[in-house]
Amino acid sequence: MTVDYPDWTRLIQLIGADIMMPIDVQAAYIMMPIDIQAQYVNLEVDIVAQTVGNIGIDIKAATIGNIGIDIKANTLGNLTIDIEAQSIGIYLKADWEVLQGTDKNLSGYAECPDGSATFVIDYTVVADTAFIICQWGFNLAADCGGQASLWFRHNATDARLAMTGGRMGNSQSFSKPIAVVAGDHIKLSVFQVSGAAVYGYGCVGGYEI
């Protein structure tokens, strides 16, 4: 259809054993119900428009290959996906985190001399990810009653990014998580002043996404 034909409302019905039908439709207003029933379907849909109304896709098949959906829009209404399958390789981010796919807990310990900072955790965040620290904590092993603090330092500048302290230990959950970018180290050190060397323990928990 290379010319405008506004009165074209007749049903296009193709019946055959082998059909290949590229469709290029350009118009100010398009309403196009498509009903496909076949033994095998390979369908590519590319839509460029100022406004896209509702898009409903209903697929029923014994086997479905890859489904790629690429949406770019300033505003997107509700996106409802209802999938029933025996096996599927899609996880929404929240579901994946519940399954602990990105969940990460780091812990470490060392003998900490009195009056100096001792590293108990050193971990480099993996390329193309960020480590979102949601909680941390520390404790001293011996019943020494000493004061101690836990420091989180930036690996390049050695600046103290966060610290906490307490008597024998402490733990905190962050309402605003700390994000550590790829390549940076998560380095936690315990500083204790119990008067003797004791084992210090530290931990951080979060997601590497």
Please state the closest distance from residue 193 (CB atom) to another protein, in A: 19
For the chain, the three-class secondary structure string (H helix, E strand, C coil) is: CCCCCCCCCCCCCCCCCCCCCCCCCCCCCCCCCCCCCCCCCCCCCCCCCCCCCCCCCCCCCCCCCCCCCCCCCCCCCCCCCCCCCCCCCCCCHHHHHHCCCCEEEEEEEEEECCCCEEEEEEEECCCCCEEEEEEEEEEECCCCCCEEEEEEECCCCCCEEEEEEEECEEEEEEEEEEEEECCCEEEEEEEECCCCCEEEEEEEEEEEC
Contact positions with another protein (CB under 8 A) in 160-179: none
Q: Quick one: tokens of 53?
A: 């109304």
Q: How many residues bind another protein (CB under 8 A)?
A: 23
Nearer to another protein, 25 or 127 (CB): 127
CB 193 within 8 A of CB 114: yes
Nearer to another protein, 30 or 88 (CB): 88
Nearer to another protein, 110 or 178 (CB): 110
Please state the closest distance from residue 118 (CB atom) to another protein, in A: 7
Contact positions with another protein (CB under 8 A) in 94-123: 100-101, 103-111, 118-123
Check binding of 185 to another protein (CB under 8 A): yes
Please state the closest distance from residue 99 (CB atom) to another protein, in A: 9
Nearer to another protein, 168 or 188 (CB): 188
Please state the closest distance from residue 159 (CB atom) to another protein, in A: 19
CB 201 within 8 A of CB 112: no
Nearer to another protein, 107 or 147 (CB): 107
Check binding of 149 to another protein (CB under 8 A): no
> Residue from 96, 114, 117, 124 that binds another protein (CB under 8 A)?
124
Nearer to another protein, 131 or 146 (CB): 131
Binding site for another protein (CB under 8 A): 100-101, 103-111, 118-126, 129, 185, 208
